Structure 1
């Protein structure tokens, strides 16, 4: 009996450790996203357009992940239309369009505002989960949404009033960042759906590979000339930044994130993803010398408070 008890306790500990390990994998994956602007801003300074950067990034990752997709090709048999729709949303919306919007957002306005606004992703994810997956909303979600929107306002406009400047509002990086947050929030829902259907490596592969035709079409349609440096030094710098962008906040972060998401509740993952803007703001401070304003701190606290309450009520 003693041996049986020890074995049962050991098994229980292993089961308990899995969600804990998954939580820290989500933290690590989200933290790697925070290094994203470090590479993108350097590439933008070389006059490479946002769509060109995202296309090159996806080509690199697609070449790396193609053998993985071939190995797991049997998982694509028997996919329903809903699964195909989820994969297209994940790749076209979350990987292609959202990344272009985020990259464009970095060229407008405050870098910290663009990063901190990404904490609204869970709000969009919860709303889409309610509409598409019929999940129950947390209690008093309406008031919590208002609190998060108030924080968004402070991150975008500070303590000023934007009335009379609508034309400026629709072009600022904050609006582009909100669009990216909405698409990435929806992608979280689609990713959760597909992780239950496929291995996380297969989902990651399809996310990048399926986005290539759309990105190629967008880049051709825009018709911007390619201005990649021809000198040995500048070309090496661009190549290293593209490779770093593709491998660290691109491929590695999503592999780690999806692996962690398989054993982590969405409500808990919301708090784990707090590492994304924190690392991003820290890099902006150290590398680009952008300090966080008082209004941004207040706005971030409001958003974080709303998300914390939502996650606690979702667990109940």
Structure 2
């Protein structure tokens, strides 16, 4: 009640809160925009005849070099971990960091680039469903109908107005299915991250996410036995190295840190708007670099997905 009776106290506090909220919004925009540059790096590497698993493995090796000192600094937080915490960390690292990234990379090599990217907006849907199952969180009002709208948008993004089962082989090879799998795992990783809130610092969880994924990626790469076909001439090797480093640091580590920093002062409904910078940047890059234009059907599908997510986030915030 003291703030109500004093204009001198209220205004600076409100102003400071508004400034933090404003800066947080633009941090979310920046972090999501950096995610939008991720396909550019991955497609260039795929054109160098590297497999999706090989790209993700090297990416994680680079990331581990950067986050290992961070984990060492917070090593005391590893004491007293319970089985559910270990399970959450394994889902984060194996599912969200290793397998999901492989699926997304594979989707870029075998599907429509814009559809693969835009389908990632479904991540919050999967996160809400898993939060309901695992954390017993209450679903937002009218979630079922909004979910159906999002599914309709997903269908349009993936198949357009055609029936997908005319040729089974074509259906199985649709890159959008890989993208959906990645979105499901990344959405689930959000829930697993919530389980770790209060148990560890965010820096510790981030470093464990990359470090624990490394043994699995090494095992998958060895089991696949694909030859490494990167050209060894100086120019090509330098270009590949720069792309790998840029991919690991910009849309990988740096964007993740910036995004979560901004999210601490940004409402969920506002963050949904800010995250539109992700598909917008990706679609723009696909248009300029890879000459892929968004079709009217894809535009309608994306609008349906975003409208459903926006309504869900508004109801969740309420």
Give the Å deviation of 1:200: 2.2
Tell me how far 1:168 sits from its aligned partner.
Answer: 1.9
Mapped partners of 2:217, 2:238: distance in 1: 24
| Counterpart position of 1:180 | 182
Give the structure 2 partner of residue 63 of structure 1.
Answer: 65
TM-score, scaled relative to structure 2? 0.93
Deviations 1:195-251 (CA, angstroms, capped at 9, x unpaired): 443222222211111110111110011011111211000000100000111110111
Indicate the residue corresponding to 1:28 in structure 2: 30
Question: Which residue of structure 2 aligns with residue 304 of structure 1?
Answer: 306
CA offset digits 1:100-129 (Å, max 9, x no partner): 000000111210000011011110011111
Q: Output the CA distance in 2 between the equivalents of 1:73 and 1:4.
A: 46
The unaligned stretches of length 5 or more in structure 2 are none
1:169 aligns with 2:171: yes
* Alpha-carbon distance in 1 for matches of 2:19, 2:131: 27
1:51 corresponding residue in structure 2:
53
Q: Give the CA deviation at 1:21.
A: 3.4
Of 118-127 and 268-277, deviating more is 268-277
Gaps of 5+ in 1: none
2:97 to 92, 95, 98: 95
Please give the secondary structure, in 2, of the residue aligned with 1:163. Answer: helix
**Structure 1 CA distance for aligned equivalents of residues 123 and 239 of structure 2:** 32
TM-score after normalising by structure 1: 0.94
Offset from partner CA, 1:31-56 (integer Å, 9 cap, x none)? 11100111000100000110000000
Kept in 2: contact 1:200–1:258 (CA 8 A): no
Between 186-195 and 53-62, report the one with greater CA deviation: 186-195
CA separation of 1:279 and 1:187: change in aligned 2, threshold 3 A: same
Question: How many residues are treated as equivalent by the alignment?
Answer: 316
Q: Does 1:160 align with 2:162?
A: yes
Show the 5 A alignment for 1:67-78. 67-78=69-80
Q: CA RMSD in A?
A: 1.9
Residue in structure 1 matched with residue 111 of structure 2 by the alignment: 109
